[in-house]
């Protein structure tokens, strides 16, 4: 797979060498607060996950989100640092629909638009390169920061699984949001 670029990010294929960073992120309760991960991950279990992920089609493999970082010396090339990951999964044929997942594990990159930018790059890739018709996601109702980022990227509220997730001793709604190809095309036309 080729590397995908946005103004401040690039998305590249996950490598085995990324696993220790993934484990660090997934060990942080603030990071996993809004993920469907509810137990600590070991390096051994993450290695098994990685091997299974490599068996999936390329369009379903995890991409590492890397943010541009200015070089210390202006003569040096831009550097990129891993800040999270994203992927399409649950691809439905022949409907050409895919669920998307994302998390920013580096908390210093939270609330800076990197999630919205990543979603924009992934939507472009999903609609233009993979020919998806519908891209959707699940988000916990209390996760207002993510909901705002998804709305900025073009996602629309579609429905919910009432009390679909158990969190901190109570049940929360799981919202479904999506973007259709024609909505994305129209938004791109209006931007241009």
* Owning domain of residue 137: 4-191
CB burial of residue 71 (10 Å; 0-12, 13-18, 19+): exposed
The string of pLDDT tens digits covering residues 162-183 is 999 998 899 999 999 999 999 9
Task: Give the per-residue pLDDT at 75.
Answer: 72
Region label for 118, one of left (φ > 0), alpha (ψ between -120 and 50) or beta (otherwise): alpha
For position 156, which CATH number holds?
3.40.630.30
Angle, helix 114-124 to helix 144-153, in steps of 10 degrees: 40
Lookup result for tokens 């705002």: 148
Instruction: Say if residue 186's pLDDT is above 80.
Output: yes
Question: 1: pLDDT confidence band, cut at 50, 70 and 90?
Answer: low
Residues in the chain: 192
Whether the per-residue pLDDT at 65 is higher than 80: the answer is yes
Q: How remote is the C-alpha of 19 from its chain's centroid?
A: 16
Give me the chain's average pLDDT, please: 93
Whole-structure pTM over 0.85, yes or no? Answer: yes
The residue with greater pLDDT, 191 or 159, is 159
Across the beta sheet with 97-104, the strand order is: 4-5, 9-13, 63-69, 79-92, 97-104, 134-140, 170-180, 156-167
152, 139, 164, 157: which is closest to 33 by C-alpha?
139
Q: How many domains does the chain have?
A: 1
Percentage of the chain with pLDDT > 70? 99
> Cβ of 102: how many Cβ atoms within 10 Å?
21
pLDDT band of 36, cuts 50, 70, 90: confident
């Amino acid at each position: 797979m080729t590397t995908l670029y946005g103004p401040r990010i690039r998305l590249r294929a996950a490598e085995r060498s990324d696993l220790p960073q993934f484990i660090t992120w997934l060990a942080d309760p603030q990071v996993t607060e809004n993920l469907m991960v509810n137990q600590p991950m070991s390096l051994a279990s993450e290695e098994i996950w990685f091997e299974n992920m490599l068996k999936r089609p390329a369009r379903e493999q995890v991409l590492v989100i890397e943010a541009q970082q200015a070089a210390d010396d202006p003569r040096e090339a831009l550097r990129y640092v891993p800040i999270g990951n994203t992927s399409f999964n649950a691809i439905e044929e022949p409907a050409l629909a895919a669920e998307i997942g994302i998390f920013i594990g580096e908390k210093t990159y939270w609330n800076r638009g990197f999630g919205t930018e990543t979603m924009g790059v992934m939507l472009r890739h999903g609609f233009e390169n993979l020919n998806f018709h519908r891209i959707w996601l699940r988000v916990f109702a209390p996760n207002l920061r993510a909901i705002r980022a998804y709305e900025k990227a073009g996602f629309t509220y579609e429905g919910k699984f009432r009390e679909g997730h158990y969190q901190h001793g109570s049940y929360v709604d799981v919202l479904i949001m999506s973007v259709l190809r024609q909505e994305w095309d129209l938004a791109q036309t209006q931007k241009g």
